[in-house]
Amino acid sequence: MTRRQIDWTIATLLGVAIAASLSASGVPGWIRYLGQLSTATALTSAGVMILLRAGLLSFGQGLFYFVGGYAVALTTKLAAITDAFVVLLVATISAGLVAVILGSFLARYRGIFFSMLTLAVSMVVFGIATKVRLFGGSDGLNIGLMSYAGYRPRGADAQWSGFVFCIWVWAAFSIATHILLRSRFGWLIRAVADNEVRVEYLGYSVKQIVWVAYTLAGMLGGAGGALAGLSARHVDPQFAYWTTAGDFIFVVLLSGQASILSPAFGAFLLEVLRSYASALFPDQWQSVFGAMMLAIVLFLPVGLDRLVTLLWSMTRKAVSRRSRSLAGGVVS
Amino acid sequence: MTDLLHCTGIQCRFGDFVATKGIDPSVKHGEIVGIIGANGAGKTTLLNIISGYLKPTAGRVMFRGTDVTGMPPRALARRGIARSFQVPQLFASGTARENMMVALSLLVDPRTSLLRRFSDRGLFDKAQRLLEDYRIGEHADAVVAHIPQGVRKLLDIAMATCASPALVLLDEPTSGVSVDEKNDLIGRLIERFRKTSTSVIFIEHDMEIVREYASRVIALYDGRIIADGDVAEVFADRDVVRYITGAGVAPLSADGCHAPA
């Protein structure tokens, strides 16, 4: 088999990114803004998904969201760097470094201990951030307008280019993550959740695999936080608060973990839900979330993406049956 | 020639309980060693120590002339000690072929290949061939959680030994396998390992199987070796008869045939 098969996930990611970029100036601003926020949530949730595949529920991904967001705010404020690519890189690397350090001891824990420790660390950072003047205390920090490799858009152009930037960063990070998840290492992450003993007897350290997965999830969280900061042009300690991390978990529970597309879909759904629910039921929008969660857990515990994968495999079967019967027709 | 595996004074203590009490088993190249003993005699503990799962409280394990005492299983797996389990240790959410593919890509291929695509044609075919070799190819697409115990057992062994190890440790390879399949299964395994002159240590409760396939037998009782030698010798040992085989297994007569019961 030398024919290279099309990777439909990558094709979809590129398709969505191109469609979004082309329609960016046409669609109403609020939809664009929802899409932009979704990219930030999607990347961070993808990190949650990676850890969930390893059997680990992180309640602390808000920490990396925080690190990414504040890395952007502080680099623009202190170093006067406004290039979006540079600050994104700084954010991703900073979050990665924090994850490497934390992962060195968190990788030993499983189950509820892992969840509680990730939550604890992120809450400690939240507590500190609200007190530190450099971080703007509980008010947070504002982020100025960005430039993109020398291009300095202003006014409506700035909003448009911010959106396109976020979309392509999301697409690029998603493709990279997808390539990783479909690799042998991607299977190894799953293997850890299935049987740690066997992984060790196959010559690999479970702790190291978890550590790497945690670091990757951290970097995705950092990139997500950076996009969130750039979109809202503001960051505050709430990024590290545990309910923020809860949103990312909600996304993955809602969407499932079948593909890198799942958290993107879930994230968009979350942002749409949040804006509609808070408009329709200003005081009770969280109970809408609760009802939604309950319905998912009761009726589709693997997540909404199961519906998509079922449809997909059905169409593929139908297509291959048709092409086979066509080929048969030619022969006879 | 030095022994492939040479243990000295292996002791393993769990609190007040001493599972192995200073034993010195060794294995030469190409030997097929059967370990017999009642439950709690320390058989699995011994395998756990040799494969690095447990660290002995005293004693040393020498493998190919180097001290490997206390090395983790992942290091020993790379040095050529493979181990199968009494309860198959598989990736339950994957298919049999996927399990085999993971084993091959981790044990056989270099670490740098870890970022290569998982669903790779070469890997797929290699896994399929190995499964056919073990005559479980028909289960390749079945999710491991749903395949019969005997197949899981074979899959577990196939995964552990896919990198042609120097020493194979089999923990009750025939437990959970139906009586009529037992002989066939172990026969094929041993033949495989003989061909590659791989050394094998296997724990077995079926004395007929031990008699048939082992080139040497180690009898454990209460954490000690009570007999170690060729098959006829060990089965004739008075302690072995009293503590392990009982009167049910007839001693071999001089010409190697079973004495009339």
Q: What dihedral angle (degrees, nearest 10) is formed by the CA atoms of B41, B43, B46, B52?
A: -130
- The ipTM, to two decimals, is 0.88
Q: Which residues, including other chains, have CB under 8 Å from residue A129's CB and lie 6 or more apart? A: A66, A70, A135, A237, A240
DSSP state of B141: T
Mean pLDDT, chain B, integer: 87
In chain A, residues with a C-beta closer than 8 Å to the C-beta of B115 are 180, 183-185
Instruction: Answer whether B143 touches A (CB < 8 Å).
Output: no
Whether A249 and A232 have beta carbons less than 8 Å apart is answered as no
Integer angstrom CA distances of residue B76 from B49, B62, B66, B197 = 11, 11, 11, 19
Confidence of residue B261 (pLDDT cuts 50, 70, 90): very low
Integer angstrom CA distances of residue B174 from B154, B168, B208, B250 = 9, 15, 12, 21
Instruction: Answer whether B106 touches A (CB < 8 Å).
Output: yes
Strand-pair category, B58-63 with B66-67: antiparallel
**What average pLDDT does range A196-224 have in this prediction?**
96
- What was the pLDDT predicted at B241? 85
Q: Chain B: give the shortest CA distance to residue A181, in Å.
A: 9
Q: Chain B: give the shortest CA distance to residue A167, in Å.
A: 26
- What was the pLDDT predicted at B35? 93
Confidence of residue B253 (pLDDT cuts 50, 70, 90): very low
Whether B127 and B101 have beta carbons less than 8 Å apart is answered as yes
Q: Which residues, including other chains, have CB under 8 Å from residue B120's CB and lie 6 or more apart? A: none
Could you tell me which chain B residue has the CA closest to the CA of A194?
Answer: B91
Could you tell me which chain A residue has the CA closest to the CA of B51?
Answer: A201
Could you tell me which chain A residue has the CA closest to the CA of B107?
Answer: A202
Using one digit for the tens of pLDDT, what is the confidence trace for B131-166?
Answer: 998 888 999 999 999 998 888 999 999 999 998 899
In chain B, residues with a C-beta closer than 8 Å to the C-beta of A202 are 74, 77, 102-103, 106-107, 159
Instruction: Answer whether A188 touches B (CB < 8 Å).
Output: yes
Instruction: Answer whether A187 touches B (CB < 8 Å).
Output: yes
Query: Which one-letter amino acid corresponds to residue A276?
Result: Y
Using one digit for the tens of pLDDT, what is the confidence trace for A47-79?
Answer: 999 999 999 999 999 999 999 999 999 999 999
B114 with A184: Cβ contact below 8 A: yes
> Of A103, A100, A101, A96, which is closest to residue A68 (Cα–Cα)?
A96
Integer angstrom CA distances of residue A284 from A238, A266, A288, A289 = 21, 21, 7, 9
Question: pTM (2 decimals)?
Answer: 0.90
Q: Which of B86, B97, B114 has the most A C-beta neighbours within 10 Å, making it the best mutation to test the interface with A?
A: B114
SS3 assignment, position B259: coil
Q: Chain B: give the shortest CA distance to residue A191, in Å.
A: 6
* Proportion of chain A above pLDDT 90, given as a percent: 67
Whether A251 and A65 have beta carbons less than 8 Å apart is answered as no
Instruction: Answer whether A205 touches B (CB < 8 Å).
Output: yes
The two structure tokens encoding residue A193: 């959740």
Instruction: Answer whether A197 touches B (CB < 8 Å).
Output: yes
The sign of the CA dihedral B113, B117, B122, B126 is positive
Radius of gyration of chain A (CA): 21
Query: φ, ψ for residue A6 (rounded to 5)?
Result: -70, 130
- What was the pLDDT predicted at A4? 65
- What was the pLDDT predicted at A52? 95
Burial (0-12, 13-18, 19+ Cβ within 10 Å), A17: buried
**Choice among A102-111, A253-262, B247-256 with the minimum mean pLDDT:** B247-256
A198 with B106: Cβ contact below 8 A: no
Buried b vs exposed e over A220-230: b needs ≥16 C-beta within 10 Å?
bbbbbbbbbbb
Burial (0-12, 13-18, 19+ Cβ within 10 Å), A257: buried
Q: Higher model confidence: residue A16 or residue A301?
A: A16
A-facing residues of B in 48-87 (CB < 8 A) are 51, 72-75, 77-78, 82-83, 85
Q: Which of B74, B87, B121, B126 has the most A C-beta neighbours within 10 Å, making it the best mutation to test the interface with A?
A: B74
**Choice among A306-320, B77-91, B193-207 with the minimum mean pLDDT:** A306-320
**What average pLDDT does range A277-305 have in this prediction?**
86
Could you tell me which chain B residue has the CA closest to the CA of A209?
Answer: B114
**What average pLDDT does range B109-123 have in this prediction?**
89
Confidence of residue A328 (pLDDT cuts 50, 70, 90): low
Confidence of residue A30 (pLDDT cuts 50, 70, 90): confident
In chain B, residues with a C-beta closer than 8 Å to the C-beta of A3 are none
Residue B202 pLDDT greater than 80, yes or no: yes
Q: Higher model confidence: residue A314 or residue B169?
A: B169
- What was the pLDDT predicted at A44? 97
Query: φ, ψ for residue B7 (rounded to 5)?
Result: -110, 145
Could you tell me which chain B residue has the CA closest to the CA of A188?
Answer: B102
- What was the pLDDT predicted at A13? 95
Q: Which residues, including other chains, have CB under 8 Å from residue A76's CB and lie 6 or more apart? A: A82, A87, A143, A144
Instruction: Answer whether B118 touches A (CB < 8 Å).
Output: yes
The two structure tokens encoding residue B94: 């994957």
Burial (0-12, 13-18, 19+ Cβ within 10 Å), B162: buried
- What was the pLDDT predicted at B216? 92
Instruction: Answer whether A204 touches B (CB < 8 Å).
Output: yes
Sheet holding B199-203, edge to edge: B81-84, B167-171, B199-203, B32-36, B216-221, B224-229
Residue A195 pLDDT greater than 70, yes or no: yes
Instruction: Answer whether A55 touches B (CB < 8 Å).
Output: no
Instruction: Answer whether B232 touches A (CB < 8 Å).
Output: no
Q: Chain A: give the shortest CA distance to residue B192, in Å.
A: 20
- What was the pLDDT predicted at B1? 54
In chain A, residues with a C-beta closer than 8 Å to the C-beta of B105 are 184, 187
**What average pLDDT does range B110-127 have in this prediction?**
90
Query: Which one-letter amino acid corresponds to residue B55?
Result: K
Confidence of residue B247 (pLDDT cuts 50, 70, 90): low
- What was the pLDDT predicted at B36? 92
Q: What dihedral angle (degrees, nearest 10) is formed by the CA atoms of A171, B122, B173, B184?
A: 140
The two structure tokens encoding residue B255: 């010409």
- What was the pLDDT predicted at B254? 43
Using one digit for the tens of pLDDT, what is the confidence trace for B205-244?
Answer: 888 899 999 999 999 998 889 889 998 888 888 888 888 8
Residue B252 pLDDT greater than 80, yes or no: no
Residue A331 pLDDT greater than 60, yes or no: no
- What was the pLDDT predicted at B256? 41
Residue B251 pLDDT greater than 70, yes or no: no
Tokens 């870890």 correspond to: B114
Mean pLDDT, chain A, integer: 91
Tokens 């909600």 correspond to: A250
- Out of A183, A188, A197, the one facing B89 most closely (by C-beta) is A197
**What average pLDDT does range A222-245 have in this prediction?**
95
Tokens 């009898």 correspond to: B219
B-facing residues of A in 154-183 (CB < 8 A) are 180, 182-183
In chain B, residues with a C-beta closer than 8 Å to the C-beta of A182 are 117-119
- What was the pLDDT predicted at B183? 86
Using one digit for the tens of pLDDT, what is the confidence trace for A143-181?
Answer: 988 999 888 888 888 888 899 999 999 999 999 999 999
Q: Chain A: give the shortest CA distance to residue B171, in Å.
A: 14
Within chain B, residue ranges assigned H as helices are 43-50, 73-79, 96-103, 121-133, 149-160, 179-195, 207-213, 231-236, 238-240
Within A24-155, residue ranges assigned H as helices are 29-53, 61-78, 84-106, 111-131
- What was the pLDDT predicted at A245? 94
- What was the pLDDT predicted at A3? 52
Residue B257 pLDDT greater than 50, yes or no: no
Instruction: Answer whether A203 touches B (CB < 8 Å).
Output: yes
B102 with A183: Cβ contact below 8 A: no
- What was the pLDDT predicted at A114? 94
Using one digit for the tens of pLDDT, what is the confidence trace for A72-129?
Answer: 999 999 998 989 999 999 999 999 999 999 999 999 999 999 999 999 999 999 999 9
A-facing residues of B in 121-140 (CB < 8 A) are 121
**What average pLDDT does range A19-43 have in this prediction?**
91
Using one digit for the tens of pLDDT, what is the confidence trace for B2-27?
Answer: 789 999 989 898 888 888 888 899 99
Confidence of residue A24 (pLDDT cuts 50, 70, 90): confident
**What average pLDDT does range B104-122 have in this prediction?**
89
> Of A235, A241, A64, which is closest to residue A141 (Cα–Cα)?
A235
Q: Chain B: give the shortest CA distance to residue A168, in Å.
A: 24
